[in-house]
Chains A and B, each alone.
Chain A
């Protein structure tokens, strides 16, 4: 099997390893989801916030498994090649363009979150704008690189994320009263289906897997590895959200920045100062890559859609556009949050489902291609 799986389409020098694809799921997912998401879920589902989160992650996990199986049947080609072979070049380019638009739109809220997170947790007074806008220089640089750089970043970020999460959990678990999550079983006073759509704003890992297809060399047990990475990231998000509710109970929705709010009650923090900043910095490192990833992938999609020989123009255009939007709407973050969780989450979910459907209807590989 291993020998026949070398038929990876695309740039052979720019491949992810399966381990790195799994680490991307594990390292970047919790870093992105442990800012606003826990408080948003607490606002709609109260002590049962873990249930819609679990539902949402479960559905996305199933989609990821499905995508991996579908691409196996398509000879591990890139999504673009599958589209090209099935629907022709124009359709493939159009779909890639729409994916790019989706990724740019989806990146907005995490970028705003990241900005507020930096400004509110690290800085005593509001920092100069340039402090945050340097992020776009970094993101532009990352966008012109191949996906291989994401893999390398994930190799390092996974250590940072795990250390950060373990430190934060160790500091906060003592302050949590998990009885705040009771009653476990009750008739939900909220609409579980609606609540389960909210995390979609921060998800989209299924689309990343679609785009990574053909960019990693499948190896034995690769599906398990990628799904394990996703599962650990998802469980960490659920566990931290539940712990935040254990600490703050009914006032959890007021705690927009989950991690810094959780660990301040530790005796270590009381006695030796803000030791918890160690975990915050570690997760911020992973968050920079996690927030940049959709922009980078959007640039890659535009590169394919318009057959650009050099991605620098697309990288500058995408990042400049997002920078301008960030500058204009920096005072309307919570309006964007409301729009995203009330309306856009359904559009994003429809787009992810549509993408998986497209993958499903592309031509299967003929036997000798596999």
Chain B
């Protein structure tokens, strides 16, 4: 009896394990399945057009073939367009590996929040998928050729999806963070803007170039007209779910310095005669809100070192310190003051509360929230106090 019971238990255990936990051993018909690694969403005359880029294993196809591994579907809604990708091509688009979503400018200007909210609740794409908007059509971005990688989205990932331990001059926004920001009391969000740069780098073969002053670029390549670079050094601002404006490269850099720690970040200062290239070692930042006068105080303490000079370094000493002239530090402070003023002006103009001021008031000055919740962000005064740059 005991033996029979053990056998019965084992059989049920195996049945449960097989049917329950295996996900059919993830056996999907690979011949009919397209592993989508990125999608681009644009507006068209029917509603939406979704361009899906498929991951093709290395070595299985020629490089040129892989460039063409994109499928397009159209529909009145994004979901319909995604479903039509499968219906029109016969391939089942598997989105669970989709790690990037590109939003075309026309969609961003119209209403991007509905689309993001759809993805966040649909379970089709992980909420950690990175999103970025394009300066033009998202489909053009995904079909553009770059020598850095045969799959365009992988090249784009390199500039947009940067971890904290890499260069943090590009603010990666994912589905979740965008949805959290737009659904917050500030109703505002940001995402990087990807710009296609044609014919800028004239290198050959597989070489790629990247970098620049605070810029994040990838690509370059052969002297073919269609090969392009990408730039994502600025962010687009969103208010009430729609694109309302864009920060310049310098404003974007200051914005990143004010909202979080930046690593391996560089900034240039000087004039035509003298140029200094400085590494930002640390950035202490504070965003204070005076609820009585509806004033926002932006405070920033930067610690910098010379990035492109070994002049003045004592190689016989353990401590390698560079000496930065005080006038350079003051010049940088003035420059940051100017950028902060223009950043504040842009916030007032667009009403995009990207410093999450309303949310801060709710969290830290809750008793004043009711009084200030309907006060538009352009009625707040932004003051940049205490921008201090030191080299110690």
Are A and B bound to each other? yes
A281: which B residues are within 8 A, CB to CB? 21
A186 within 8 A of B: yes
Partner of A182, one of B8, B127, B163, B364: B364
Q: How many residues of A contact B (CB 8 A)?
A: 36
Whether B363 and A182, one on each chain, are in contact in the complex, defined by CB atoms closer than 8 angstroms, is: yes
Partner of A124, one of B12, B23, B176: B23
A267: which B residues are within 8 A, CB to CB? 163
- The 8 A CB mask of B142-168 against A (1 = contact, 0 = none) is 000000000000000000000100000
Q: For residues 156 through 203 of chain A, which have their beta carbon under 8 Å from a beta carbon of chain B?
A: 179-180, 182-183, 186
B16 within 8 A of A: yes
Whether A284 and B21, one on each chain, are in contact in the complex, defined by CB atoms closer than 8 angstroms, is: yes
B120: which A residues are within 8 A, CB to CB? 251, 254
Whether A135 and B20, one on each chain, are in contact in the complex, defined by CB atoms closer than 8 angstroms, is: yes
- The 8 A CB mask of A240-256 against B (1 = contact, 0 = none) is 00000001111100100
Number of A-B contacts (CB under 8 A): 76
Partner of B126, one of A138, A257, A264: A264
A122 within 8 A of B: yes
A131 within 8 A of B: yes
B96: which A residues are within 8 A, CB to CB? 124
The stretch of B54-62, B74-82, B177-185, B309-317 that contacts the partner chain = B177-185
Whether B180 and A249, one on each chain, are in contact in the complex, defined by CB atoms closer than 8 angstroms, is: yes
Contact A264 to B128, CB < 8 A, known contacts A124-B96, A183-B366: yes
A179 to chain B: closest residue by CB: B363
A250 to chain B: closest residue by CB: B183
Whether A137 and B15, one on each chain, are in contact in the complex, defined by CB atoms closer than 8 angstroms, is: yes
Whether B21 and A122, one on each chain, are in contact in the complex, defined by CB atoms closer than 8 angstroms, is: yes
Interface size class of B (residues with CB under 8 A): 20 to 34
A135: which B residues are within 8 A, CB to CB? 16, 20
Q: For residues 322 through 358 of chain B, which have their beta carbon under 8 Å from a beta carbon of chain A?
A: none
Partner of B20, one of A118, A179, A257: A118
A222 and B63 CA atoms in complex are apart in Å by 69
Partner of B12, one of A130, A138, A179, A251: A138
B179 to chain A: closest residue by CB: A251
B183: which A residues are within 8 A, CB to CB? 249-251
A120 and B96 CA atoms in complex are apart in Å by 12
Whether A124 and B123, one on each chain, are in contact in the complex, defined by CB atoms closer than 8 angstroms, is: no
Contact A183 to B16, CB < 8 A, known contacts A124-B28, A248-B180, A264-B128: no
Whether A270 and B128, one on each chain, are in contact in the complex, defined by CB atoms closer than 8 angstroms, is: yes
Q: For residues 104 through 148 of chain A, which have their beta carbon under 8 Å from a beta carbon of chain B?
A: 118, 120, 122-125, 127, 130-132, 134-135, 137-138, 141
B374 within 8 A of A: no
Name the residue in A251, A261, A281 with the highest tally of chain B Cβ atoms < 10 Å from its Cβ: A251
Contact A251 to B180, CB < 8 A, known contacts A137-B12, A186-B366, A267-B163: yes
A308 and B180 CA atoms in complex are apart in Å by 55
B46 within 8 A of A: no
A265 within 8 A of B: yes
Min CB distance A124 to B, Å, is 6
Min CB distance A132 to B, Å, is 8
Min CB distance B302 to A, Å, is 24
Whether A141 and B8, one on each chain, are in contact in the complex, defined by CB atoms closer than 8 angstroms, is: yes
Contact A250 to B184, CB < 8 A, known contacts A124-B96, A183-B366: yes
Whether A265 and B128, one on each chain, are in contact in the complex, defined by CB atoms closer than 8 angstroms, is: yes
A245 and B173 CA atoms in complex are apart in Å by 19
- A selection of 23 A-B contacts at a CB cut-off of 8 Å is A120-B123, A122-B21, A124-B26, A124-B94, A124-B96, A130-B19, A132-B20, A134-B15, A137-B15, A180-B363, A182-B363, A182-B364, A183-B364, A247-B176, A249-B184, A250-B183, A251-B120, A251-B179, A251-B180, A254-B121, A257-B123, A264-B126, A264-B127
B residues whose Cβ falls under 8 Å from a Cβ of A: 8-9, 12, 15-16, 19-21, 23-24, 26, 28, 94, 96, 117, 120-121, 123, 126-128, 163, 174, 176, 179-180, 183-185, 362-364, 366
Q: Name 20 extra pairs, CB < 8 A, besides A124-B23, A281-B21.
A: A118-B20, A120-B123, A123-B24, A127-B24, A131-B19, A134-B16, A134-B19, A135-B16, A135-B20, A138-B15, A138-B16, A180-B363, A186-B366, A248-B180, A249-B180, A265-B127, A265-B174, A267-B163, A284-B20, A284-B21
